[in-house]
Structure 1
Amino acid sequence: MLQRSASLGRPTAIELEVIRASLGGIVQEMQNSLFRTGFSTIIRESQDASCALLDANAAVIAQHVVLPLHIGAFPACTQAVLRAFSGDIAPGDAFLINDPYEGGSPHAPDMAVITPLFFDDALVAFCASIAHKGDIGGPVPGSCSGQAREVFNEGLQLPPVRYQRNYLPFGDVERIIAANSRTPELVLGDIRGQLGSARLGERRLATLLEKFGLAKCVAAFDELGGIAERRMRAIIKTWKDGVFEAERYVDDDGVELSKPVRIHVRVEKAGDAIRFDFTASADQTRGPANIRPPLVQAACAYALISLVDPNIFITSGILRSFTVETRPSSVLNPRYPAPVNTYNPTVHAVVDAIFAALGQVVPERSRADGCGSRSIILGGRGTNTGSSYVQYEIVGGGAGARSTRDGASGTTVNQSNAKIAPVEIIESEFPTRLLAFELIRDSGGAGKFRGGLGIRRKYLNLTEARFSIRSTKHVIPAEGYADGLPGRTGDIRINPDGDGWKRLPSRYADYPLKAGDVFELETPGGGGYGDPLTRDPVSVLADVREGYVSVEAAGRDYGVVLVAGPKGPSLDEEATQRLRAARSKAGAA
């Protein structure tokens, strides 16, 4: 491992900026390579992956942020490699890891590929990526069972293993992975794409080292981390001191369906120091709602970055600007082998709680809750080929409104940043047909600024399949902020237009679908911000004309009276003023 030295050469300010921009360009190029060589729709369409460069001590020196949670996962996974192979790492090596406990993968389908970079015979850095795999075994297609009771129900678990030595693959590793996947060609193709992006990163980083020299580059890595930490602390210092608390709830853990899962945060702010205390959160759950501490740390980093500087250069220096405490055997620090695979709803609750607490500190950056995240997974055999398939889709909803603008509609929110797969791709690659893909009127929470609208996606299934979902906010809605109203909850129904329709819980695994069955997903809307009676009536009228808000909701939620006309609804200003005055008087009483 490369040793630090006070005598290392230091880059000039201009050289530091060139190195910073070069590091950012390298991870961006790695990311582009990964998306273009991805075999699965999860990688090349939804882009559920991130790339990063880390120093010899496993600190992030640059990350292309598609998925913000990976700022905590990359160091934990790389530290696991260093623990397992310290003293036995050489040029041409490559390592795999997806173990959430021994490493930092959010769940087992998120597999990390990590390669070392040597320069002048010294280990200088690591090139890494984390990418979701469509299926790594387990009892259900997609490896994300909402009823898992332990990690052994969640597919193949890989501790740090050597994938290549001297640039030559270990075929046994690939055979083991292939034997544990329903879609081995796609999984191995994606892993090889990750490896290719890492090798590309090695070449680009080696060129940078040759240009500026080892000493200057290593000093720049340290300085960039220090700049990020100082930037964070300088802004945090301007915030008011105090203790601020908030909590949010997850619908359930997938096993105990009538028991919401509490996430509580206590934020202690003094000077440039900020501490996040989650010890009052719920005990670890029986079902797969648990998350590991690296994700809690990443969620805190994400929230702070959003409030301080969304354009800050991403390094592990950000992680040094705050501290986190979790309680062992809790939902945010579970004991092995507690299940973790449907982790995302819990992370969203953590993020929403943090924003609710910090909204008391930085009110100009406060916001309402968003829709959370969800995935739908179908598995079976194709109608034409007869081969196994896994259709894995990530679907967004409505973002929470902010203090200055409406929430975005039909989007991913918070730390989830993957894309919704295009209809053309889904229908051309899987035995399903999209019957509807639209925004849901009146699903955004009412407020001075309206919450974003949720999405309706309705599918016709063409063959026998096994269906799973991991979602949230089907029971507990996205909360509004500052008197804003909550968003509409989500829903998932099987054959919704028939007499024997069935509603599934927000986490469910392995529902059998027949050819001709229809399933309909409605995603939650975002919460509203501010008193709905203070929303500009012209904006309400525009929402009605756009189909975002109904005429009935305009009167009921916003106190805006609209009248029908030959060219559509128009605003009755006098009636609106009277109605709002009466509502305000009744509210005051």
Structure 2
Amino acid sequence: MSTTSYDPVTFDIIQNGLEAVADEMFAAQRKTSMSAIIYEVLDLGTGICDAQGEIAASGAGIPAFVGVLDKAVKRMIEKHPVETIKPGDLFASNDPYWGGVTHLNDMILAMPVFAEGRIVAWTANIAHWNDVGGNVPGSMSSEATEIYQEGIRIPAVKLIDAGVPNQAVFDILYVNTRLPDFLRGDLWAGIAGVRIGEKRILEMIEKYGSDTFTAAIADFMDLGERRARAALATIKKGIYPFEEEQDDGTIHKIVIEITDDAFIIDLRDNPDQKGSSNSSREGIEISAQLAFKAFTDTQAPGNGGFFRPLQLLTRPGSVFHVVEPGALGYYSEVEIRVFDLILRCLAHHFPGVLPAGNFASICGTVIGGKHPDTGRHYTIVEPQLGGWGAQQGRDGNSAIFSGFHGDTFNCPAEVAEARYGLNVDELALNADKGGDGAWRGGKGISVRYRVRADDNFLSVGYTRSRIPPWGQNGGNDGSPNYVEVLRPGKDVERYSFATNVPLSKGDVVHVVTGVGGGFGKPSERTEAAVRRDLRNGYIDAETAAKVYNVTI
């Protein structure tokens, strides 16, 4: 083993190496998973934590998922004293009350990395499993009132003990799902991911030494903190309140206080927890971390050190700090509402710094039933693309996942048709009006899934279904997100939250996601840009004439 070195070049190599390891973990898990929600949509996240559980490096995938990993590992360490943890151990948790943070569909796997008889790091990942039991297929019910209704709970348990699988836990998982083959494949893909991470870290330690390795992680954390505090120093200090009406008429309130030493987000004055649209306190912390980083320094390392100046205040028993046994099936819509609320508050008090509002919903769409060709149960879990808000000098992006959802993809029509019992009749830009401005909001999408068999079902959870994405600096608001069920010869049914809506052969599920908000007054948009929009089909002649005063 080489001698200990603390030079900055070595530190930089190790720090970049950690990010490369996290990316390799991501690739291994993606390539070996069974479910399209993982290998196509990339509904997963990977990362490396230090010995204490602080996030040190992250791979590709969903930023909100990477933010789970440190919180889960810390809870595992809390439950399992360090002296009881051995090389080859592997832990699992999906329980929001035991470090799972999100909902029961999202399984976290974490593995300690030992060197010279001590833990020097943890490798960890998280991925969405299509079904973990509960009272509805897909395990996500807008009608749930308790977590007991949502599926199997794995409370930070030791899944593998010194390299030996705890078969009882594996068996419990396999019999508590409607899709056991997929669960088994996705589970072992996750195990492969954390094990390849352990292998690569040990190779790094063999080359540089464990002391240098741990010192490099500590230095990386300090760099993150320095970057955050440097950005904080440039921001105007003050207290910034804001409130926003939600689709159901409730009011979400926030107060942001920026001081010389801290960025404080106060969410205590908010509604009580209710139904399945709640989030754990740790989940809201992730929303705060993502917004804090987006507002301060997007290029800095997103490690535990960067978030040291951030403080979050919540009230137990509220929608933003659920207490047991509250349900969390649609936690993601609560977290993305907070993420958007923080950004909207900052955009209001710091005009021009942030873009206008985006469609800001995961738009989770679950369709399932008996496959018409195989007779086996299938479940498709599909987040949706949407329109982003415009900003000074730039139109919003069209058909992109929300920033909260991150570096993910839609499931290709060919894969959806091959794996699931439906046809994809359309994937197009949303023709709904909205988002006009000097720079216009990006377009959402229109997707039509045609069901191929009877006795299928639809479950959805969409926000911004009534309150559209907000315009900025005189720009117009965008358009809402919604789902329609089109049945031959019957009236159109429109949904935002629904569970187990029956579907029959020939029915069409029509997904429509929002247009982003506009930036600047529409009268300030150039005629050339308006005519380009007309040629590209972003607006029609009526909008060009009435909104932009441009006639054909």
**TM-score w.r.t. structure 2 length?**
0.96
* 1:581 alignment partner in structure 2: none
Given candidates 346, 349, 352, the residue that maps to 2:334 is 346
* 1:221 alignment partner in structure 2: 217
Q: Does residue 437 of structure 2 align to residue 447 of structure 1?
A: yes
* 1:154 alignment partner in structure 2: 150
* Structure 1: 4+ residue segments shifted above 6 A: none
Cα distance in structure 2, aligned partners of 1:38 and 1:110:
14
Q: Does residue 239 of structure 2 align to residue 243 of structure 1?
A: yes
C-alpha displacement at 1:44, in angstroms? 0.3
Q: Does residue 193 of structure 2 align to residue 197 of structure 1?
A: yes
C-alpha displacement at 1:320, in angstroms? 0.9
Given candidates 11, 16, 22, the residue that maps to 1:16 is 11
* 2:486 alignment partner in structure 1: 495
Cα distance in structure 2, aligned partners of 1:446 and 1:23:
44
Q: 1:272 to 1:537 in 2, by over 3 A?
A: farther
Cα distance in structure 1, aligned partners of 2:347 and 2:367:
39
Cα distance in structure 1, aligned partners of 2:154 and 2:396:
40
Contact residue 366 and residue 402 of structure 1 kept, 8 A: yes
C-alpha displacement at 1:364, in angstroms? 4.1
SS at match of 2:338: helix
Contact residue 72 and residue 294 of structure 1 kept, 8 A: no
Q: Which amino acid aligns with 1:118?
A: F
SS at match of 2:207: helix
SS at match of 1:320: coil
Q: Does residue 7 of structure 2 align to residue 43 of structure 1?
A: no
SS at match of 2:538: coil
Given candidates 138, 153, 162, the residue that maps to 1:142 is 138
5 Å-filtered alignment, 1:153-302, equals 153-251=149-247, 259-285=248-274, 287-302=275-290
C-alpha displacement at 1:307, in angstroms? 2.4
C-alpha displacement at 1:177, in angstroms? 0.8
5 Å-filtered alignment, 1:331-410, equals 331-360=319-348, 362-372=350-360, 373-410=362-399
C-alpha displacement at 1:362, in angstroms? 4.5
Q: Does residue 93 of structure 2 align to residue 97 of structure 1?
A: yes
SS at match of 1:446: coil
The structure that has the greater radius of gyration is 1
SS at match of 1:328: coil
Q: Does residue 547 of structure 2 align to residue 554 of structure 1?
A: no
SS at match of 1:370: coil
Cα distance in structure 2, aligned partners of 1:442 and 1:406:
17
C-alpha displacement at 1:444, in angstroms? 4.5
SS at match of 2:187: helix
5 Å-filtered alignment, 1:17-96, equals 17-86=12-81, 87-96=83-92
Q: Which amino acid aligns with 2:378?
A: Y
* 1:507 alignment partner in structure 2: 497
* 1:320 alignment partner in structure 2: 308
Contact residue 356 and residue 471 of structure 2 kept, 8 A: yes
SS at match of 1:31: helix
Q: 1:380 to 1:496 in 2, by over 3 A?
A: closer
Cα distance in structure 2, aligned partners of 1:91 and 1:233:
37
Given candidates 390, 403, 407, the residue that maps to 1:414 is 403
What number of residue pairs does the alignment pair up? 546
Cα distance in structure 2, aligned partners of 1:110 and 1:36:
18
Contact residue 348 and residue 414 of structure 1 kept, 8 A: no
Q: Which amino acid aligns with 1:88?
A: T
Q: Which amino acid aligns with 1:480?
A: G
Cα distance in structure 2, aligned partners of 1:128 and 1:40:
19
C-alpha displacement at 1:447, in angstroms? 1.3
SS at match of 1:395: coil
Q: Give per-residue Cα distances to partners, 1:286-330, cap 9 Å, x unaligned.
A: x21111111221112111222233232221112212111011111
**TM-score w.r.t. structure 1 length?**
0.90
Cα distance in structure 2, aligned partners of 1:390 and 1:499:
26
Contact residue 487 and residue 507 of structure 2 kept, 8 A: no
* 2:477 alignment partner in structure 1: 486
Contact residue 462 and residue 482 of structure 2 kept, 8 A: no
Q: 1:163 to 1:443 in 2, by over 3 A?
A: farther
Q: Which amino acid aligns with 1:304?
A: F
Contact residue 541 and residue 562 of structure 1 kept, 8 A: no
Cα distance in structure 1, aligned partners of 2:284 and 2:468:
22
Q: Does residue 451 of structure 2 align to residue 456 of structure 1?
A: no
Q: Which amino acid aligns with 2:464?
A: K
Contact residue 442 and residue 553 of structure 1 kept, 8 A: no
Contact residue 102 and residue 159 of structure 1 kept, 8 A: yes
Q: Does residue 420 of structure 2 align to residue 430 of structure 1?
A: yes
Contact residue 71 and residue 316 of structure 1 kept, 8 A: no
Contact residue 388 and residue 402 of structure 2 kept, 8 A: yes
Cα distance in structure 2, aligned partners of 1:416 and 1:498:
37
Q: Does residue 464 of structure 2 align to residue 473 of structure 1?
A: yes
Q: Which amino acid aligns with 2:346?
A: L
Cα distance in structure 1, aligned partners of 2:223 and 2:334:
31
* 1:522 alignment partner in structure 2: 512
* 1:568 alignment partner in structure 2: none
C-alpha displacement at 1:98, in angstroms? 0.3
Q: 1:361 to 1:224 in 2, by over 3 A?
A: farther
SS at match of 1:101: helix
C-alpha displacement at 1:136, in angstroms? 0.3
Contact residue 24 and residue 63 of structure 1 kept, 8 A: yes
Contact residue 240 and residue 361 of structure 1 kept, 8 A: no
Cα distance in structure 2, aligned partners of 1:39 and 1:24:
25
SS at match of 2:268: coil
Contact residue 532 and residue 557 of structure 1 kept, 8 A: yes
* 1:329 alignment partner in structure 2: 317
Cα distance in structure 2, aligned partners of 1:131 and 1:185:
16
Cα distance in structure 2, aligned partners of 1:347 and 1:166:
36
Contact residue 478 and residue 525 of structure 1 kept, 8 A: yes
Contact residue 33 and residue 189 of structure 2 kept, 8 A: yes
Cα distance in structure 2, aligned partners of 1:414 and 1:101:
26
Q: 1:68 to 1:110 in 2, by over 3 A?
A: same
* 1:531 alignment partner in structure 2: 521
Q: Which amino acid aligns with 1:217?
A: F
Contact residue 399 and residue 452 of structure 1 kept, 8 A: yes
Q: Give per-residue Cα distances to partners, 1:543-579, cap 9 Å, x unaligned.
A: 1110011111122222x2222xxxxxxxxxxxxxxxx
SS at match of 1:348: helix
SS at match of 1:499: coil
Q: Give per-residue Cα distances to partners, 1:147-203, cap 9 Å, x unaligned.
A: 111111211111011111222222221211111111111112111101101000001
C-alpha displacement at 1:85, in angstroms? 1.6
Contact residue 442 and residue 548 of structure 1 kept, 8 A: no
Q: 1:79 to 1:26 in 2, by over 3 A?
A: same
Cα distance in structure 2, aligned partners of 1:261 and 1:518:
32
Contact residue 107 and residue 343 of structure 1 kept, 8 A: yes
* 1:310 alignment partner in structure 2: 298
Contact residue 246 and residue 467 of structure 2 kept, 8 A: yes
SS at match of 1:264: strand
